[in-house]
A and B are shown apart, each in its own frame.
Chain A
Amino acid sequence: DTAVSQTPKYLVTQMGNDKSIKCEQNLGHDTMYWYKQDSKKFLKIMFSYNNKELIINETVPNRFSPKSPDKAHLNLHINSLELGDSAVYFCASSQTGALGQPQHFGDGTRLSIL
């Protein structure tokens, strides 16, 4: 059973379109994250949610809107896609309450903007 699963794995679309990436975790964790990995492999946090509440928002353009219907899901919707949005997006989860708990990552969604 996959612990953190993202869909789709690959997403190819044109500039200006709107797309969504879904993430689900079955670890019982209460915190979920979205990270962006650019073409140079640099990983940067975008958002984190704890029990459906937004905790971290790292100056991400408001074209990116995360949505957490419940603590096991954190979806990422992107409006008006731009060339610079091409990247690999990783979802992760962890259990708060005991700081220093490692984050568990999904396999990523490779987004390519044409």
Chain B
Amino acid sequence: AQSVTQLDSQVPVFEEAPVELRCNYSSSVSVYLFWYVQYPNQGLQLLLKYLSGSTLVKGINGFEAEFNKSQTSFHLRKPSVHISDTAEYFCAVSPYNTDKLIFGTGTRLQVFP
């Protein structure tokens, strides 16, 4: 079975500050890793994904994430946030042998001017 833990339910930050949203996962099989963003009243949009290869992956809107196999983590970072980054961020895993996505509980990023 797989599970995804996003320890921070809310992360408040000022505009232009750096941010890190934490994600840890547990799985008995190899998984692919994803970050999705949900803006208010919208569906989920893919930010980035890790399938294999370089452990640092870059996504849209200036976000990046680093896969750490030994710590089973996939933390999301952005060096300088904008007001428009205010949204809910979901970490998810997909076991190698399925198309199923297992989501974390989400982190609400609130960017203040």
B-contacting residues of A (Cβ < 8 Å)? 4, 31, 33, 40-45, 48, 50, 55-56, 90, 92, 94, 96, 99-108
Residue from the list A45, A94, A105 in contact with B43, Cβ < 8 A: A105
A-contacting residues of B (Cβ < 8 Å)? 32, 34, 36, 38, 41-46, 49, 51, 88, 90, 94, 96-103, 105-106
Residue from the list A42, A55, A101, A102 in contact with B103, Cβ < 8 A: A42
Whether A43 lies near B103 (C-beta < 8 A) is yes
**Contacting residues, chain A, for B45 (C-beta < 8 A):** 105
Whether A100 lies near B94 (C-beta < 8 A) is yes
- Known contacts: A40-B105, A41-B105, A42-B105. The answer to whether A106 contacts B43 by CB under 8 A is yes
9 other contacts beyond A33-B101, A102-B46, with CB at 8 A cut-off? Answer: A4-B43, A41-B88, A42-B105, A44-B103, A56-B100, A99-B94, A100-B94, A105-B45, A108-B42
- Known contacts: A40-B105, A41-B88, A41-B105. The answer to whether A105 contacts B99 by CB under 8 A is no
Whether A100 lies near B32 (C-beta < 8 A) is yes
Whether B105 lies near A94 (C-beta < 8 A) is no
- Give A55 to B105 CA distance when docked, in angstroms: 24
The 4 closest A-B pairs by CB, nearest first: A105-B43, A100-B32, A43-B103, A105-B44
- Give A9 to B24 CA distance when docked, in angstroms: 33
**Contacting residues, chain A, for B100 (C-beta < 8 A):** 45, 48, 56
Report the minimal beta-carbon distance from B9 to chain A, rounded to whole angstroms: 9
- The residue of chain A having its C-beta at the shortest distance from the C-beta of B42 within the complex is A107
